[in-house]
A and B are shown apart, each in its own frame.
Chain A
């Protein structure tokens, strides 16, 4: 028996949230006296996968063939399912993402597994197998018991703070049979913003709302994000108005984020927006309206004009560097 972590590869390296999942997996392996296996799918050098050892994995199974270079939900879940079967894994762990959700969903279908997403703590094994998960987009938690033989957990970002060692994992290649239907869905084009950390992975996020009054006024916000090395986000109205691209929309019906720092400029803090960002460790709100509801959810607040405040913050960050 083994605990199996599916670790995502992005741009040839393991995603940070997947490293958290590996560390979480090593703790579950300890709890249940099992070994830990990590499965990575797609193109990556061995040196990029060895880092899994720092997070508690002694071995990484690497599945890489020409039909696995582009993420394919059916093919990836075939690989995950066969790895779980071969190594008798009853607990499968991933970091929640749109790819991991899609892959583990199919694996759950194949293995008749109970699947629970947005897990925020280590499982409680005192009475069966119970996990705490975030529900209602971060507004509450549900302690959920998984009663199936195979269990699949999707971790929320920051569910655990890893302690890192300098151990390197060994890499072993893993081959799986890909079902015929996998290539039915053909990718014809990919459009990707390069050089920015995708929002679900970002530790620092600067975000703008309608209070910034128009897309032509985004520069001060971009300057601060650039100085901090932060990703940029926006509220739903801003994305609906096409001031910013859709993938920047954070909120209940957009991307849900859990950065260490979220700076909101000109966003009043509607309940739907808060739902997407309330897992941030520290929230800063900058708004001209002292009555903006967002201040109630914030750790630090500045009542003022973002166009005057942002350049001051940018200058202060630059002075540090």
Chain B
């Protein structure tokens, strides 16, 4: 089985978000980059599947050279080789086009990624890839087992779960609890340095572009209600906030 896992490189979930250049670019100063948390789940399950079935696992990132630490980490966790498409991942369609282009050439059985990236939260890349390749796309996948040519999947739907069976190839957007995040061991970290990382140029063009960033308005002061008069809250929610 050939697996392609697509990872994003995003600010750590605890990072303070700010903008520079008159609010036209994201301020990267002091921000630690990590593998997208959802992508990390996809990667962890892909490593397990590779161990179970003895296939190959390629990791793909669309990003500039500053994402290489995240790619090396994915290699240390268990991917065999890596491809980086050398471009800023600013547009969902553009990123999907890169993934589809690489996937077509590599003839993969499974193309896995997170349900969404934690920076732009669009959650559409897997679907666009599936459409371009003409194969089904499923998201958010919470359980995945492979039996022969069939994937058994459990997917979250609003207020519940759906169990599906589908034949490969497939594109999957993943989330917990599909697998536990993996931590690279020393042997993995050493071997990751020698694993191949191919850098390729992008194809096509972005269809959207960010012109400006802004921050939400500051929250006003919190109105405190003494615990012994807690019931007064209900009156405030009804008459002042008018939400119940």
A residues whose Cβ falls under 8 Å from a Cβ of B: 10, 71, 73-74, 77, 97-99, 101-110, 112-118, 130, 132, 134-148, 154, 181-182, 184-193, 196, 198-201, 204, 228, 246-247, 252-253, 256, 260-261, 271-272, 275, 278, 281-282, 284-285, 295-305, 308-309, 312-313, 315-317, 320
Contact = CB atoms under 8 A, between A and B. Distances in A.
Q: Which 7 A-B pairs have the closest CB atoms?
A: A105-B127, A304-B227, A109-B131, A114-B207, A192-B160, A198-B158, A105-B124
Contact of B127 (A101, A282, A315, A316): A101
A71 B238 CA distance: 38
Given A141-B215, A198-B158, A285-B222, A73 B138 contact: yes
A142 B127 CA distance: 23
Contacts of B129: 109
Contacts of A146: 207-208
A308 B115 CA distance: 39
A232 B138 CA distance: 26
Nearest to A278: B216
B30 interface: no
Interface stretch (B52-60, B67-75, B90-98, B189-197): B90-98
Interface stretch (B79-87, B103-111, B162-170): B162-170
Nearest to A295: B222
A145 B227 contact: no
Given A135-B120, A300-B236, A143 B14 contact: no
Given A190-B162, A253-B38, A101 B122 contact: yes
Interface residues of B, number: 82
Interface string B192-226: 00000000000000111111111110011011111
Nearest to B213: A142
A113 B118 contact: no
A98 B123 contact: yes
Majority secondary structure of chain B interface residues (helix, strand, loop or mixed):
mixed
Contacts of A182: 136
* Interface-central residue, B135, B156, B237, by most chain A CB under 10 Å: B237
Given A115-B122, A186-B165, A109 B159 contact: no
B128 interface: yes
A298 B157 CA distance: 29
A142 B166 CA distance: 37
Nearest to A304: B227
Nearest to B234: A316
Contacts of B158: 10, 97-99, 198-201, 247
B123 A109 contact: no
Contacts of B132: 109
B140 interface: yes
Contacts, number: 289
Interface in B127-156: 127-132, 134-140, 142, 153, 156
B207 A98 contact: no
B118 A109 contact: no
Given A112-B93, A204-B244, A300-B222, 16 more contacts: A71-B157, A102-B139, A104-B127, A105-B128, A106-B128, A109-B130, A115-B122, A184-B167, A190-B161, A247-B159, A252-B13, A278-B216, A281-B241, A284-B233, A300-B225, A304-B227
B160 A188 contact: no
Given A109-B127, A114-B207, A148-B207, A304 B230 contact: yes
A247 B139 CA distance: 14
A187 B163 contact: yes
B7 to A, nearest CB: 15
Nearest to B38: A253
A169 to B, nearest CB: 24
B121 interface: yes
Nearest to B208: A114
* Interface-central residue, A73, A102, A297, by most chain B CB under 10 Å: A102
A108 B100 CA distance: 14
B231 interface: yes
26 contacts: A74-B130, A98-B140, A101-B127, A105-B124, A105-B130, A108-B131, A115-B122, A116-B92, A117-B124, A135-B120, A135-B121, A136-B118, A139-B216, A140-B17, A140-B214, A145-B211, A184-B167, A246-B177, A252-B13, A253-B38, A253-B176, A261-B244, A271-B13, A297-B219, A300-B224, A300-B241
Given A109-B129, A190-B160, A301-B222, A144 B210 contact: yes
Given A98-B123, A108-B92, A300-B237, A260 B156 contact: no
Nearest to B115: A98
A147 B207 contact: yes
A33 B225 CA distance: 50
A302 B227 CA distance: 6
A105 B130 CA distance: 9
